[in-house]
Amino acid sequence: MSVTPTIPLDAQGIHHGFLKLPHSRNESAWGSVMVPITVIANGTGPTALLTGANHGDEYEGPIALQELAIILQPDQITGRVIILPMMNHPAFAAGTRCSPIDGANMNRSFPGRADGTLTQKLCHYIATTLVPQADIVLDFHSGGRTLDFLPFAAAHILEDKAQEAACMAAMQAFNAPYSVRMLEIDAAGMFDTEVERQGKTFVTTELGGAGTSTPRTVAIARKGIRNLHDPCGHHDGNTPKCTNRNPRHAG
């Protein structure tokens, strides 16, 4: 496995570190790409995988997840939260949708390849190591530099109706101003598709866009994370209850 975490993924408590992926190049012959990761675990329970910056120019997820990584305490959960605020770190650091290293769109590169390009290797590790350990996956998206959205959480119509119901419940629990049964233009290679193929509960978002964020859209992301604690079995005595009981639905 070419990707190695610098922290244990199964230890109790709080660990901040990196997914280290060797990247030999002109500027650094034995260099690596370092993808920031935080794992917070307490006892035995479900695992939530929370990801941002799958596309590098979308900011609500990274902000809300960077904050979560410093405020979430183990005694607020039963189980484990794996946080990748900047999952596609090369693209995030460049402020671009796709990776500047190989030009790849991470969200068209799943499940990746162990012997592929840098983005494919990263996707392969996430798909084969992290996703199998997760019970629920929340992947934050926004419009990036070329789109702007009404803020919504989304789930997909799936063949497995029990899985679809779990995804829709997670979408509703997130409780964005809008909830969407989402039809993808091109589902091949998406993180969504791979996570759902593995039978996991998956919810995604589109929150604003235009290459930036606003206090309003970040607040939606922040609240959605808190609201999701319930369906994935986590306990947080300070979790605010949903304030919008009747989100509008589209799809």
Partner 1 sequence: MPDDSCFLFCEQAGMIEYLAELGDKIEQNQPPARIWPTDRTGIPPMTVHAKRGGILTARHVPGLVQMGDFISLIAVETM
Q: Is 100 among the residues that bind partner 1 (CB under 8 A)? A: no
Nearer to partner 1, 59 or 202 (CB): 59
| The one-letter amino acid at 246 | N
Single out the residue of 112, 151, 215, 40 nearest to residue 50, CA to CA: 40
Q: Is 101 among the residues that bind partner 1 (CB under 8 A)? A: no
Q: Is 95 among the residues that bind partner 1 (CB under 8 A)? A: yes
Q: Is 69 among the residues that bind partner 1 (CB under 8 A)? A: yes
Q: Is 147 among the residues that bind partner 1 (CB under 8 A)? A: no
Q: Is 218 among the residues that bind partner 1 (CB under 8 A)? A: yes
The dihedrals phi and psi of 82, each to the nearest 5 degrees, come to -105, 120
Q: Is 62 among the residues that bind partner 1 (CB under 8 A)? A: yes
Single out the residue of 68, 56, 15 nearest to residue 37, CA to CA: 15
How long a stretch of residues is the chain?
Answer: 251
Q: Which stretch binds partner 1 (CB under 8 A): 67-75, 107-115, 176-184, 225-233?
A: 67-75
Q: Is 38 among the residues that bind partner 1 (CB under 8 A)? A: yes
Rounded-to-10 torsion of CA 72, 75, 80, 81: -10
Among 23, 212, 230, 239, binds partner 1 (CB under 8 A): 212
Cβ of residue 222: shortest distance to partner 1, in angstroms?
10
Q: Is 18 among the residues that bind partner 1 (CB under 8 A)? A: yes
Nearer to partner 1, 37 or 48 (CB): 37
Q: Is 28 among the residues that bind partner 1 (CB under 8 A)? A: no
| The one-letter amino acid at 82 | I
Nearer to partner 1, 61 or 112 (CB): 61
Tokens 């969200």 sit at which residue? 107
- Cis before 111 (ω within 30): yes
Per-residue CA distances from 207 to 142, 143, 166, 196, 221 (Å):
5, 7, 21, 21, 8
Nearer to partner 1, 59 or 182 (CB): 59
Q: Is 93 among the residues that bind partner 1 (CB under 8 A)? A: yes
CB atoms inside a 10 Å sphere around CB 124: 21
| Stretch 151-180: interaction string toward partner 1, x if CB under 8 A | ------------------------------
Nearer to partner 1, 16 or 181 (CB): 16
Query: DSSP strand E in the chain: where?
Result: 4-5, 13-22, 32-42, 47-51, 79-84, 136-139, 148-155, 178-181, 201-209, 248-250
**Could you list the residues that contact partner 1 (CB under 8 A)?**
14, 16, 18, 34, 36-38, 57, 59, 62-63, 66-67, 69-70, 83, 85-86, 92-93, 95, 145, 210-216, 218
